A and B are shown apart, each in its own frame.
Chain A
Amino acid sequence: GAGVSQSPSNKVTEKGKDVELRCDPISGHTALYWYRQRLGQGLEFLIYFQGNSAPDKSGLPSDRFSAERTGESVSTLTIQRTQQEDSAVYLCASSLALASSYNEQFFGPGTRLTVL
């Protein structure tokens, strides 16, 4: 009964470097979401994956951001050429299929990214 896990829990990087964040969803959850949360702010939707459908990338802030998911398992969020404005907590969530209107999302603990 493991929940959503994310790694690393903290990441400090230098401006201009690439970073890769990982999310392991709950087994059996076909939907996976990435959010960004700046300090003291709400959650900002980035991208979501649903089964084998094309991902909804409408929230990605720039082409430096990309994400992949293999089947219904692990997802990675990659930020290229990081900027200081990318500093935030990146949260991953998973949920069961979108067949109903429920869609309770289960969140991981997040990765705190600091770009120096």
Chain B
Amino acid sequence: SQQGEEDPQALSIQEGENATMNCSYKTSINNLQWYRQNSGRGLVHLILIRSNEREKHSGRLRVTLDTSKKSSSLLITASRAADTASYFCATMGAQKLVFGQGTRLTINP
């Protein structure tokens, strides 16, 4: 069964706007990772945040983690058309990643 649940399932914004996606999970974790998937094929790792971290940045990406609420958010600032993709959170518990259902992000030019 899926542990992570992303919200919203789909998001459509204008180029230049910020996009925020949320992820909730159920059990304790070692870390939480965000991945991106283009065209339903291979996933690309974006960023990892450890359970003892609260916020992390990588370029235009900002990830937060609230272990008390078992939730994480991914913020993409100054979105570009090339950011159009599906974004998945994945939690690392006992030696394997468990993925959520994903958020389909569309950036309109």
Which residue numbers of A lie inside 8 Å of B, CB to CB? 4, 33, 35, 37, 39, 41-45, 48, 50, 56, 89, 91, 93, 98, 101-110
Contacts and interface: CB of A to CB of B under 8 A. Distances in A.
Contact of A42 (B44, B51, B99): B99
B28 interface: no
A33 B35 CA distance: 15
Interface string B22-46: 0000000011010100001111110
B101 A103 contact: no
A109 B42 contact: yes
Given A102-B31, A104-B33, A104-B48, A45 B98 contact: yes
Given A56-B95, A89-B41, A98-B95, A42 B102 contact: yes
A43 B96 contact: no
Contacts of B42: 4, 91, 107-110
Interface centre among B50, B51, B96 (most CB of A within 10 A): B96
Contacts, number: 64
Interface of B: 2, 4, 30-31, 33, 35, 40-45, 48, 50-51, 88, 90, 92, 95-102
B90 to A, nearest CB: 8
B43 A101 contact: no
